[in-house]
A and B are shown apart, each in its own frame.
Chain A
Amino acid sequence: DGGITQSPKYLFRKEGQNVTLSCEQNLNHDAMYWYRQDPGQGLRLIYYSQIVNDFQKGDIAEGYSVSREKKESFPLTVTSAQKNPTAFYLCASSPGLATGGETQYFGPGTRLLVL
């Protein structure tokens, strides 16, 4: 089955700790994205990557870091600098470059909670 997987489904972070959210796709898509959802708000873009070894900041990149060493993987690290990390995180991908005209395919999400 082709698709996007995110793990874990739930993640707990202690104060001052970095945590990494996994996102893997087997759709052979070039572009990948990370979004954050907070209650009562629309999805907001954290980072996106158009190609391996390249990524760009979205609207709310502060306190987050990403890497794109392989086409199929785009992990997101929530660092201790992110002061309000509790949220639902969605990963997505699209076939070609992030030109806007292409559908994005979403994973099931990871809910991050701070202890």
Chain B
Amino acid sequence: ILNVEQSPQSLHVQEGDSTNFTCSFPSSNFYALHWYRWETAKSPEALFVMTLNGDEKKKGRISATLNTKEGYSYLYIKGSQPEDSATYLCALIYSGAGSYQLTFGKGTKLSVIP
């Protein structure tokens, strides 16, 4: 089982602050990276699917970058709002062995303080 590390495990930010967190992974056999947002009492919701080194994706105030050569992705939130409070999950797909299974990190829990 491949290791996907997310840091920090949790963080608290004030409303209006910008923040970012990291997903680190082994770079060999990389195929795709997914970011999901999981709000309490709701289903995980897809944010981005990234496949190419240097990819940058944006959705409103949230953006993500991908570096497959060094094995990391950053998720940025600009001007955090209370509704951004959620656990952000990173998941990797590796090619090989004929399967394409998502391997999830443990998540980063973000709390935005009004």
Give B contacts to A, CB under 8 Å. Answer: 1, 4, 31-32, 34, 36, 42-46, 49, 51, 89, 91, 93, 95, 99-107
Contacts and interface: CB of A to CB of B under 8 A. Distances in A.
Contacts of A58: 101
A43 B102 CA distance: 9
Interface residues of A, number: 26
A102 B50 CA distance: 10
Interface string A82-115: 0000000010000000111111111111000000
Nearest to A45: B101
Interface of A: 4, 33, 35, 40-45, 48, 56, 58-59, 90, 98-109
Nearest to B106: A42
B4 A42 contact: yes
- Choose among B32, B51, B99 the residue with the greatest number of A CB atoms under 10 Å from its CB: B99
